[in-house]
Every structure is written in C-alpha cells, then in structure tokens.
Amino acid sequence: MPRKTYRQAINEALDSEMARDENVIVIGEDVAGGAGGSGEDDAYGGVLGVTKGLVGKYGRTRVIDTPITESAIMGAAAGAASTGLRPVAELMFVDFLGVCFDQIFNQAAKFRYMFGGKARTPLVIRSMIGAGLSAAAQHSQALHPIFTHIPGLKVVMPSNAYDAKGLLIQAIRDDDPVIFLEHKALYETQAEVPDEAYTIPFGEAEFVTEGDDVTVVAFSAMVARCKAAADTLEKDGIEVELIDPRTTSPLDEDAILESVERTGRLVVVDEGSPRCGLAADIAALVACKAFAHLKAPIAMVTPPHTPVPFAPNLEAAYLPSAERIAAAVRATLGETVPAE
C-alpha cells in the first residue's frame, strides 16, 4: 500500500469528497492563493500547502479565498452549511478562534437545537494546532478542550496520516459541525494510506499497543511520543495499553474504562493546558466510573500552565516528552524515578 504524508492524506480526503459531491466547498485564507495577482494561480494551497491543487481541479467557485476575517469565513460557512452546502472552512491557526468563536459555538453548534431538530449544519472547520515548531505563544496552542466543552460540536484529532484521511471523509459526510484539528508537527509524518475513499467512525478509539500493565490515553501528536515511551518500557517488561480515542467529542469512554478495569492504572497525556483540560476530563471520567479498579493514583502528563514558550529549548521542555511519559507510567507502578 502506498505510504503518504499526513498532508497528502488530508489533501486526498478533500479531493475525493469534492469529486464525489459538488456541494463540498473549501473556504479560507489562501486556500487557493494567487487571486488577482500576475503570478501562479494555485500559489499557496493554504499556509502549509494542504489544499494545493484543489483550485485547479474545482475552480474558484468551490475553492474560495477570503480576506483575513475569520468571523466572515466561519459565518459564511455556517450559513452555507445551513442552506445545504458542505463547506470545509479553514481556520489557519486555532489560536485565531477568538475572533470567530460566536459563529462557531453560538451559531453553528446551536442550529439543530434552536430550530427544533429541523436544521442540519454539515460544516467542517479544519484548523492547525500544537507546539514544536517554535511558532511562539500566539501560533502554537492546543485549544481542543475549548471546542470539546461545547455541546453540538464534534471534535476530531487525527494522530497519523491513515486516520486523517478516513476521519476527514467521515467529517465531511457528517451532518453536524465538526472541528477537525491537524497538528502542525505531523504534516510530514507518513503512514500507509489507501488510494480509495474510506471512513473511520467517530467515537471509536484505536488501540495503538495492547498491554495489561498500564493504560495510557493520548491524542494527536502526543500519541507518537507515548508510543516511543511504550517501546522503551516494553524493554523493561512493562506492557502499556496505548489508546488513541481519535475524537474528543464523542469520546470512546467504553474503550478507556474497559482498559482501566483490566490494568488498574491510568496515565493521560495531553498537549492542552492542564486546567480545565482534556487530561483532567478523562481522569475525572475514570475516577468516577472505574475508581474501584484503580491500583494507583491517576497520572496526568501535560505542559505547565503557561503560554507556549518561543525559545526552542524552553518549548521542548514545555511539551510532554517520552521520558516524562515513561516516568509517569513507572510512577503508577510504584517505581521511583529520579527527578528530571
């Protein structure tokens, strides 16, 4: 099977759905690029080239460049979705959600509820999250817990190229607003990705590794770091069950609970800030519903509660590392670990 990057996988998903359904449109800043200039027409394909090639195939009526006005992009997309189009709107960096959040959380997320179940809002908002590229505090956040908090939004966080394609096709075919969060450090990662279209249902966790000693739950770019930690721990005979729920809303609670019932130990790893975050949410779920099975306190591995540092060495220290994850796993097993 061909190996493809996360970027290619997302591009293929958009291409395949635009070919399949003429109601699918792409709208955002520089998603085509080059409009009105004298140079190359398909110049950008988005700030990281994810939508490259689409304007050539589907034209400017379906690949729409906008001014730098996130509120207009999200408002137009939410309105278009409520009239029957299937817009895929791009919020270039998730950090910009502040200027368009009303259109997302108080409009798109509420239409179905405010109109007696008669309104459908098949809207996908693609956005880029995460630290690791030294893009500083205003372009590096992982704000998925904010979307996850809002009922009426589905939130997807693919950790690899295979999942990215299947989850994005599923998102575009879904009749509710879906927030699709791409981690900027994953675009160059590769996986085996079928050429054909396929869907991965929401709310179904992937078991990256299976093991009976400790359950580790992680999303997006943290999954690979946890896998690296699990590989190290395996050499010492510690079997980690690594769960990637893939979507934070809906959340595959059964997968997490059933695993913890077996292992009795939980480490949650998340790139979001620790306060009111996803790690705390999953820790609370397990504490409430599987407390009797726990053999050790739940461990959370997150960044500190601070903006993302710009300095590369500080940014590296800010992000949960494989070493910190492995240490947390050992701690749940009662092993003392030298302080970092």
Task: State the catalytic residues.
Answer: 139
Q: How far apart are CA 278 and CA 276, in angstroms?
A: 7
Q: How far apart are CA 15 and CA 29, in angstroms?
A: 18
Segment holding 214, helix H or strand E: strand 214-218
Q: By C-beta, is 119 or 197 nearer to another protein?
A: 197
Q: What is the DSSP string of 238-267?
A: --EEEEE-SEEES--HHHHHHHHHHH--EE
Q: By C-beta, is 40 or 196 nearer to another protein?
A: 196
The residues that bridge with 209 in the sheet, in sequence order, are 242
Q: How far is the CB of 195 from another protein (least distance, A)?
A: 9
Q: How far is the CB of 26 from another protein (least distance, A)?
A: 21
Q: By C-beta, is 196 or 340 nearer to another protein?
A: 196
* Contacts of residue 164, Cβ cutoff 8 Å, sequence gap at least 6: 6, 9, 10, 13, 158, 182
Q: How far is the CB of 201 from another protein (least distance, A)?
A: 6
Placement of tokens 């729920």 in the chain: 245
Binding site for another protein (CB under 8 A): 162, 166, 194, 196-201, 204, 206-207, 210
Q: How far is the CB of 206 from another protein (least distance, A)?
A: 8
Q: By C-beta, is 115 or 198 nearer to another protein?
A: 198
